[in-house]
């Protein structure tokens, strides 16, 4: 794979989100298998790995730290703070917590779990309305000065919040949901990233698996799978949205590719500072996703996708209301 830049941070043009190893899609594989897949991603050219203290909590960071330890100097690891988690017990409490003392303690725990001396990219997982973003950015700035953090990021933040944070501590990357069926960042956030030289990292670039074409209205979703509570994954919504999968399938046939590869190639073609982080628990899917970097979409292809997608109204909110309330603050 080629590399791209998130601000001044060089990463592989396709990264890897590791959340699926934290039982978010149902039971996780054995730890040895998870490590094999993560290391397999590195062997196939991925150098950008994403985790968070909330995944587990804590256990996903430990897994990523162990898996990537042999290649620590060759990879970029991103993690996130911000949910209200007891840092001693891992117990979850309602809401968010980005108070400076909490952030500093959280980072110390991350360093141990990831087995690193410095966190390459530290995100605030969601904007905390009770803590001014200037205070959060200032706290991260102090961690950068202390050598514990290299770069600062903000997921799911509003444009004005990004601008305010960037004035205190340069923001390297914004991570928000973005795909052919979730285009919320386009009106304000992506133009601001381009203006300020900030990278953009789409999470769920394959629509939590829906855009791969392997999920339809009849697919059974286990109660332990987070998608069971997603309005966009009701059987009715899955049926209503299949036009997008059909569109990706038609383009994929023309390109001798898969729908997933077209969905990722579409993102790569949007802007040169976009680095998607698809997640999977299977090595063959890693290989498929990485292959998207070699799929070239022409201007005519992109125009066709745009015209067809414009005629499709996506049904269902992208997240449950309890989670969605924390976005674009």
Q: What is the pLDDT of residue 319?
A: 96
Q: Is residue 152 part of a domain?
A: yes
Q: Is residue 13 part of a domain?
A: yes
Q: What is the pLDDT of residue 47?
A: 98
The number of domains in the chain is 1
Please tell me the distance from the alpha carbon of residue 98 to that of residue 147, in angstroms, as a whole number: 20
Q: What is the pLDDT of residue 92?
A: 97
Beta strands 3-6 and 9-12 are: antiparallel
CATH code at 101? 3.20.20.100
Q: What is the pLDDT of residue 27?
A: 86
75: Cβ contacts below 8 Å, ≥ 6 apart: 42, 47, 48, 49, 68
- Phi and psi at 24, nearest 5°, equal -80, -20
Q: Is residue 253 part of a domain?
A: no
- What are the distances in angstroms from CA 218 to CA 6, 107, 210, 237, 313? 39, 43, 12, 11, 21
pLDDT tens over the chain, length 329 residues: 899 999 999 999 999 999 999 988 988 899 999 999 999 999 999 999 999 999 999 999 999 999 999 999 999 999 999 999 999 999 999 999 999 999 999 999 999 999 999 999 999 999 999 999 999 999 999 999 999 999 999 999 999 999 999 999 999 999 999 999 999 999 999 999 999 999 999 999 999 999 999 999 999 999 999 999 999 999 999 999 999 999 999 999 999 999 999 999 999 999 999 999 999 999 999 999 999 999 999 999 999 999 999 999 999 999 999 999 999 99
Q: Is residue 184 part of a domain?
A: yes
Q: Which residues of 188-212 are buried (b: 16+ CB within 10 A; e: fewer)?
A: ebbebbeeeebbbbbbbbbbbbbbb
Q: Is residue 316 part of a domain?
A: no
Q: Is residue 303 part of a domain?
A: no
Q: Is residue 222 part of a domain?
A: no
Instruction: State the residue range of the domain holding 117.
Output: 3-207+270-295
For tokens 């001693």, name the residue: 88
Please tell me the distance from the alpha carbon of residue 254 to that of residue 176, in angstroms, as a whole number: 30
Q: Is residue 41 part of a domain?
A: yes
- What is the SS3 assignment for the chain? CCEEEECCEEEECCCEECHHHHCEEECCCCHHHHHHHHHHHHHCCCCEEECCCCCCCCHHHHHHHHHHHHHHHHCEEEEEECEEECCCCCCEEEEECCCHHHHHHHHHHHHHHHCCCCEEEEEECCCCCCCCHHHHHHHHHHHHHCCCEEEEEEECCCHHHHHHHHHHCCEEEEEEECECCECCCCCCHHHHHHHHCCEEEEECCCHHHHHHCCCCCCCCCCCCEHHHHCHHHCHHHHHHCHHHHHHHHHHHHHHCCCHHHHHHHHHHHHCCCECCCCCCCCHHHHHHHHHHHHCCCCHHHHHHHHHHHHCCCCCCCCCCHHHHCCCCC
Catalytic center residues? 55
Q: What is the pLDDT of residue 109?
A: 98
């Amino acid at each position: 794979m080629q590399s791209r830049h998130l601000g001044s941070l060089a990463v592989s043009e396709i990264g890897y989100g590791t959340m699926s190893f934290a039982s978010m899609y149902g039971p996780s594989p054995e730890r040895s298998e998870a490590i094999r897949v993560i290391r397999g991603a590195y062997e196939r050219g991925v150098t950008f790995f994403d985790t968070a203290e909330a995944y587990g909590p804590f256990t996903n960071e430990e897994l990523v730290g162990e898996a990537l330890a042999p290649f620590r100097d060759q990879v970029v690891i991103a993690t996130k703070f911000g949910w209200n988690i007891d840092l001693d017990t891992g117990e979850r409490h309602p809401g968010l917590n980005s108070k400076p003392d909490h952030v500093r303690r959280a980072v110390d725990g991350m360093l141990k779990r990831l087995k690193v001396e410095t966190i390459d990219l530290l995100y605030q997982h969601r904007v905390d309305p009770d803590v001014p973003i200037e205070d959060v950015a200032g706290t991260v700035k102090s961690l950068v000065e202390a050598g514990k953090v290299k770069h600062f990021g903000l997921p799911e933040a509003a444009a004005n919040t990004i601008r305010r944070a960037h004035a205190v501590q340069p923001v390297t990357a914004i991570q928000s949901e973005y795909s052919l069926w979730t285009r919320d960042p386009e009106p304000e956030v992506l133009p601001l990233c381009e203006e300020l030289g900030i990278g953009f990292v789409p999470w769920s670039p394959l629509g939590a698996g829906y855009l791969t074409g392997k999920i339809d209205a009849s697919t059974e979703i286990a109660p332990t799978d987070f998608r069971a509570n997603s309005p966009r994954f009701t059987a009715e919504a899955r049926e209503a949205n299949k036009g997008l999968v059909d569109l990706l399938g038609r383009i994929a046939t023309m390109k001798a590719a898969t729908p997933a590869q077209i969905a990722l190639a579409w993102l790569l073609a949007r802007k040169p500072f976009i680095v998607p982080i698809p997640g999977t628990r299977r090595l063959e899917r890693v290989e498929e996703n990485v292959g998207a970097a070699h799929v070239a979409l022409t201007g005519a292809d992109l125009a066709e996708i745009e015209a067809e997608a414009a005629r499709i109204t996506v049904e269902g909110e992208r997240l449950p209301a309890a989670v969605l309330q924390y976005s674009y603050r």
